[in-house]
A = this chain, B = another copy of it.
Amino acid sequence: MKDKAAIKKMIEELKTLKTDDMYLNDFFLTWNESDDEIAAVFQVAEILRAMRENNISAKVFDSGLGISIFRDNSTRTRFSFASACNMLGLTVQDLDEGKSQIAHGETVRETANMVSFMADVIGIRDDMYIGKGHTYMKSVADAVQSGYDDGVLEQRPTLVNLQCDIDHPTQAMADMLHVINHFGGVENLKGKKVAMTWAYSPSYGKPLSVPQGIIGLFTRFGMDVVLAHPEGYNVMAEVEEVAKANAAKGGGSYTRVESMAEAFKDADIVYPKSWAPFAVMEERTEIVEHGDDKALHALEQACLANNAKFKEWTCTEELMSLTRDGKGLYMHCLPADITGVSCKEGEVEASVFDRYLVPLYKQASYKPYIIAAMIFLAKFKNPSAKLDQLLKKEAERIR
Chain A residues proximal to chain B, CB less than 8 Å: 49, 52-53, 57-65, 75-76, 78-80, 82-83, 86-87, 89, 91-93, 95, 106-107, 109-111, 113-115, 117-118, 120, 147, 150-154, 334-335, 338, 341-342, 357-358, 361-362, 364-365, 367-368, 379, 395-399
Shortest beta-carbon distance from A336 to chain B in Å? 9
Residue ID in chain B nearest A78 by CB atoms? B93
The residue from B57, B89, B362, B368 contacting A118, defined by CB atoms under 8 A apart: B368
Tell me whether A79 and B117 are in contact in the complex, defined as CB-CB below 8 angstroms, given that A61-B397, A379-B398 are known contacts: yes
The residue from B82, B91, B151, B361 contacting A113, defined by CB atoms under 8 A apart: B361
Tell me whether A75 and B59 are in contact in the complex, defined as CB-CB below 8 angstroms, given that A118-B86, A118-B87 are known contacts: no
Residue ID in chain B nearest A81 by CB atoms? B93
A110 touches B53 (CB 8 A): no
Point out the residues of chain B lying under 8 angstroms from A110, CB to CB.
Answer: 334-335, 361
Point out the residues of chain B lying under 8 angstroms from A53, CB to CB.
Answer: 154
The 7 A-B pairs with the shortest beta carbon distances in the complex, nearest first, are: A83-B118, A152-B361, A150-B358, A57-B62, A82-B93, A79-B115, A113-B361
A117 touches B398 (CB 8 A): no
Taken together as a complex, chains A and B put the C-alpha atoms of A117 and B150 apart, in Å, by 40
Point out the residues of chain B lying under 8 angstroms from A335, CB to CB.
Answer: 110
Point out the residues of chain B lying under 8 angstroms from A362, CB to CB.
Answer: 150-152
Interface-central residue, A95, A113, A118, by most chain B CB under 10 Å: A118
Taken together as a complex, chains A and B put the C-alpha atoms of A150 and B361 apart, in Å, by 9
Tell me whether A79 and B93 are in contact in the complex, defined as CB-CB below 8 angstroms, given that A334-B114, A361-B147, A379-B398 are known contacts: yes
7 A-B pairs with CB atoms under 8 Å apart are A52-B154, A60-B398, A63-B86, A63-B89, A65-B82, A79-B93, A114-B361
The residue from B49, B86, B151, B153 contacting A91, defined by CB atoms under 8 A apart: B86
Taken together as a complex, chains A and B put the C-alpha atoms of A106 and B147 apart, in Å, by 46
A86 touches B65 (CB 8 A): yes
A62 touches B396 (CB 8 A): yes
Shortest beta-carbon distance from A81 to chain B in Å? 10
Point out the residues of chain B lying under 8 angstroms from A80, CB to CB.
Answer: 117
Taken together as a complex, chains A and B put the C-alpha atoms of A113 and B361 apart, in Å, by 7
Shortest beta-carbon distance from A393 to chain B in Å? 9
B63 touches A62 (CB 8 A): no
The residue from B63, B79, B106, B364 contacting A59, defined by CB atoms under 8 A apart: B63
